[in-house]
Amino acid sequence: AYTDDAQGYAVALAFTSWTDAGPAATYAATISPIAAYEPGAFYKRELPCLLAVLAQVDLGEVSCVVVDGYVTLGAEERPGLGQHLYEALGGRVPVVGVAKTRFAGVAPQVVPVLRGQSQNPLYVTSVGLPVSEAAGVVASMHGDYRFPTLLKLLDDLTKRAV
């Protein structure tokens, strides 16, 4: 999330099982200044925020990072936020991207996941973990609705901060 004064705010939730209803820990970071919005290079604005909040976490204890967005983009599989994060972490931690909206030109590396009674899928991508496995764990996450409980909480906490 971003404020009007060029600050970024990131939140991370730690959990022990994909089916957890609540976080084991919550981390937050404020970043200033942040990069200006650049079409086609969203990661330049988001990545520093994610790295700042993940700096508080022992990555040796992390089996996967979930991001709001795509790992790869389009049929040519251009690096998205998730791929840039994976590379910034030295490829040590798998990254799963969960997007609420379909990216134009989405290719076979994207798995749509229907949850609850919703007919609108979440779009799952991954690196360091087979995308079919990533889609399975997103489908198994706690919650009766389209958006898993923990991801909804994360979204709410991030928006509340700005």
For residue 31, what are the β-bridge partners? 8
Start-end of H helices in the chain: 43-54, 81-88, 131-140, 149-160
Band of residue 39 on the pLDDT scale cut at 50, 70, 90: confident
Q: Which CATH architecture has domain 8-160?
A: 2-Layer Sandwich (3.30)
pTM: 0.91
Q: What is the pLDDT of residues 6-38, one digit of tens each?
A: 788 899 999 999 999 999 999 999 888 888 777
Q: How many helices (H) and strands (E) does the chain have?
A: 4, 8
- Rounded to whole angstroms, how far apart are CA atoms 103 and 115? 19
Phi, psi of 133 (to 5 degrees): -70, -40
Closest among 4, 14, 5, 79 to 47, alpha carbons compared: 79
Q: Report pLDDT for 5.
A: 58
SS3 67: strand
The residue with greater pLDDT, 69 or 38, is 69
Contact of 125 with 131, CB cutoff 8 Å: yes
Band of residue 92 on the pLDDT scale cut at 50, 70, 90: very high
Band of residue 1 on the pLDDT scale cut at 50, 70, 90: low
Residue 41 has pLDDT above 80, yes or no: no
Closest among 124, 154, 153 to 10, alpha carbons compared: 154
Per mean pLDDT, which range of 71-75, 82-86, 90-94, 111-115 is the poorest?
A: 71-75
Q: What is the mean pLDDT of residues 48-52?
A: 94
10 Å CB burial of residue 43 (0-12, 13-18, 19+) is: buried
